[in-house]
């Protein structure tokens, strides 16, 4: 989604009522972030909304990107937030062979998750289609991609082919390299 360099469009201040709604939506979507929400979005701070190409909204605090949203999709954390709070998000893992494709902006395919080296959660922690997942690479410490699943993890395990995440935010993409001033 952010393969090319992007520049922010209009920047506006978020009303306090909208900011409260964003805070509650973040806690609802990512319940493990609840103890850290005051650290991520303090109550008395001013959140900014930046309009990006392709109908993407970026929420930033003090020129630090926090969450982005494509149209009416769920709020998806910026990788810097994922790196700051790594245990607060649902995770899946890719094998070594898929790393270079993911970091070049390619679609994440199911074989990269189901082969040896890949990781999918057990059926009791199953992720459903549309859930936001953080993708870790085999042998690496930091997450490399965050995006919305196009099929559930149980379906990925059974089919072993098809698109798992078609667009997202990855290390080194336009959103990662974007400067906000």
Supply φ then ψ for residue 19, to 5 degrees: -65, -40
| pTM of the predicted protein model | 0.91
Q: What is the pLDDT of residues 45-60, one digit of tens each?
A: 999 999 998 899 999 9
Q: What is the pLDDT of residues 131-181, one digit of tens each?
A: 999 999 999 999 999 999 999 999 999 999 999 998 899 999 989 999 887
> Is residue 83 within a helix (H) or strand (E), and if so which, with residue range?
helix 79-84
Query: Any idea which residue has 């990781």 for tokens?
Result: 119
């Amino acid at each position: 989604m952010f393969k090319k360099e992007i520049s922010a469009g209009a920047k506006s201040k978020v009303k306090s009522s909208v900011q409260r709604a964003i805070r509650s939506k973040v806690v609802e979507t990512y319940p493990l972030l609840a103890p850290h929400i005051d650290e991520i979005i303090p109550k008395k701070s001013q959140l900014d909304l930046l309009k990006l190409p392709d109908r993407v909204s970026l929420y930033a605090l003090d020129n630090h990107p926090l969450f982005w949203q494509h149209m009416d999709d769920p709020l998806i954390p910026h990788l810097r937030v994922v790196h700051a709070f790594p245990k607060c998000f649902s995770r899946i893992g890719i094998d070594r062979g898929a790393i270079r494709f993911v970091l070049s902006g390619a679609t994440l395919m199911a074989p990269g998750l189901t082969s040896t080296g890949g990781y999918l959660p057990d059926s009791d922690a199953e992720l459903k289609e549309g859930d936001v997942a953080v993708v870790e690479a085999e042998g690496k410490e930091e997450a490399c991609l965050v995006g919305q699943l196009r099929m559930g993890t149980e379906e990925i395990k059974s089919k072993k082919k098809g698109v798992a995440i078609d667009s997202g935010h990855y290390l080194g993409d336009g959103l990662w390299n974007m400067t906000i001033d």
